[in-house]
Structure 1
């Protein structure tokens, strides 16, 4: 009787087991995906709120201190004008003239009044400030959009000359998918056109900022995710691969947001926000304190103006004039230097925040 031979065991993988593993893995990827999206949204909100707080503080400082700085600028011009009149209407000996000129220059060198060479014409305009505040980059929302259009153009130029990174490819693919669906020119209905226009603004903004998370949020809001067959191994594998790539890009985006927030907090403006919070907890208003300090500094400059005016009007002797105002004679050099340093720092800070 012939021996029975054993049939070979099938080597193919159990499809049910393979699908089960893919389902578990896909569920894990989707969980990570949603978690990263939430973290990005939270960190983006934190960054935006922090930047907005910096702007609010800077705006409040500028608005409240502007009258004081304008008064300081007026006093500065007055003092220069009085010295000009002294030099043009009064006659002094050579030594006395040099001493008065030296005192005038000392006020400039110490920062009490602005630098101005003897005989120099008045010029109310500061070309550097004019250039700063007339630069469209600092002005309005329209120019903000123009900058975005410029960046978009640059992105297209760079693409023509250099290969895209994997991150930018995924961002662009998602952008093109959404743009194809929501481009306003593809619809005729006025209400739909208006709705698509607003959505397209969000899509463009997210694309220009490389914000894949926001693009995916828009995609999810409008339920545009791809349909997959949960019993099809190829569909599940393709979906897993797509999520793997997206999650990696989203992790990079989250890390960048963290870095941006850290950098913002380490700037002088960011430190100012921290200092304001500490001051509020301690029960005092740092802006009010700053304004009181500025007022005290203005009082010193007003005294100098009155002192120089009195000499011009011949209400004091040359000797008394060269000795300087009484308040300055009574103050130590260190205190005066610290006062002047505060003036210049606060003036510079207000200009920067403007």
Structure 2
């Protein structure tokens, strides 16, 4: 009789060599996994501390600078009111009125006072513009527009960019934890309170796309799946899971690094860096900023007094168009530096 062969459909038994290779691979992936979790935790803490420092510094600046800023605001309003009253109550020739309006406009363009929306002031005729270009370097001569909003705010926000596959993995981990820790799953009031607190952390991590935190919670409560170290399928599945998680963790770590860079590159972040450098030299950076504001306030006060004198006809039109002594006593370049530094510092005052 011819010899017959039969085929078996049973699973192929894993060889010791295959299991050994999987063990080595799993160990390497797990080592990388733990390292990524630690890096993310450190970087997350670094970002949190830096943002808190930004907020505390901005709050301190606001509190200490508020009196000076209020005085600057009052001076600004006074100068605007004086010019409005001068132009409304005094009678001038056509050219003289143009020159006075030019003075008013140049103060706004130079950033010494805030800009006022006035079509007549903002849109001078072309003849006047060409005349201004030919004028000598006196008080009524124009300059480049440097105005920036006093006390302007710039918010800082950055969301992690998560692709669909990563989002799915994070959601799977979230659902697994939610299934275990949802308060409605238990009846004991004490356990419900405990689960409620854990679910707050789980929800926060899920909303922020923070897989690392979800895995930390999972590990903290020893919820990892059972792996048979002698089963090739279990080991292969675990390796694949770790590879996917590690890739997401790498992306999360890069996102955290990018967010920290973005925070440091904001005006508020630059203030933190400058404050730290100044502190190492024993310098209070906020005191320096306040001194700059006080210096600018002195200049603006003298300009206010100068306009007030013109309103009260204590000085002639010629003297007024010649400009106040405070501007003539300062080198033009020095004046620009003071204004730019002062406005730059004011723009960094942010309330979180």
How far apart, in 2, do the equivalents of 1:114 and 1:345 lie? 14
- The 1:166/1:327 distance shift into structure 2, 3 A limit, reads same
Cα offset for 1:331?
A: 1.7
The Cα shift of 1:183 comes to: 1.3
CA distance in 1 between counterparts of 2:241 and 2:287 reads 55
Measure how far apart 1:338 and its partner are: 2.5
Write out per-residue CA displacement over residues 94-127 of structure 1, whole angstroms, 9 at most, x where no aligned residue: 443333232222222222122233899xxxxxxx
SS at match of 2:321: helix
* Residue number in structure 1 paired with 2:243: 244
Deviation readout 1:298-326 (Å, 9 max, x if unpaired): 11111111121122223333333232211
Structure 2 CA distance for partners of 1:322 and 1:181, relative to 1, 3 Å: same
What's the CA shift string for 1:229-252, capped at 9, x where partnerless? 333333333222222222222222
Please show how residues 276-315 of structure 1 align to structure 2 within 5 Å.
Answer: 276-315=275-314
The reply to whether residue 38 of structure 1 matches residue 32 of structure 2 is: no
Write out aligned runs for 1:1-354 (5 A): 15-116=15-116, 117=118, 165-350=164-349
Deviation at residue 181 of structure 1 after TM alignment: 0.9
Cα shift readout 1:258-292 (whole Å, capped 9, x = no counterpart): 23223333333333322222111122011110100
Which stretches in structure 1 are left out of the alignment for 5+ residues? 1-11, 121-128, 139-143, 156-163
**Segment drifting more, 230-239 vs 168-177:** 230-239
Distance (whole Å) between structure 1 residues aligned to residue 254 and residue 85 of structure 2: 62
**CA distance in 2 between partners of 1:337 and 1:325 (Å):** 16
| Superposed displacement of residue 339, structure 1 | 2.5
Q: How far is the alpha carbon of 1:212 from its aligned partner? A: 0.9
Q: Give 1:14 deviation, angstroms.
A: 6.8
Report if aligned partners of 2:292, 2:338 keep a CA contact under 8 Å in 1.
no
- CA offsets, 1:52-92, max 9 Å, x none? 22222222222222222221111111111122222233333
Which protein has the bigger helix share?
Answer: 1
Is 211-220 or 182-191 further displaced after alignment?
182-191
Q: Counterpart of 2:146?
A: none
Conserved 8 A contact 2:268-2:348: no
Structure-2 separation of matches of 1:13 and 1:196: 43
1:5 aligned partner: none
Question: Could you say if the C-alpha distance between residues 259 and 105 of structure 1 is closer, same or farther in structure 2, counting changes exceeding 3 Å?
Answer: closer
Structure 1's 229 and 304: CA in aligned 2 closer, same or farther, altered over 3 A? same
**In structure 2, do the counterparts of structure 1 residues 23 and 97 end up closer, same or farther at CA, with 3 Å as the change threshold?**
closer
Cα 1:87–1:248 shift into 2, 3 Å = closer
Count residues with an aligned counterpart: 308
**CA shift in 2, pair 1:229/1:93, >3 Å:** closer
The residue aligned with 2:143 is: none
- Looking at structure 2, the residues matched to 19 and 101 of structure 1 have their Cα atoms a distance apart, in angstroms, of 88
2:271 and 2:348 in contact (8 A); partners too: no
Q: Compute the displacement of 1:353 (Å).
A: 5.4
What's the offset of the Cα at 1:15? Answer: 4.0
RMSD across aligned positions (CA): 2.9
Unmatched 5+ stretches in structure 2 = 1-11, 122-148
Between the aligned partners of 2:56 and 2:217, the Cα distance in structure 1 is 30
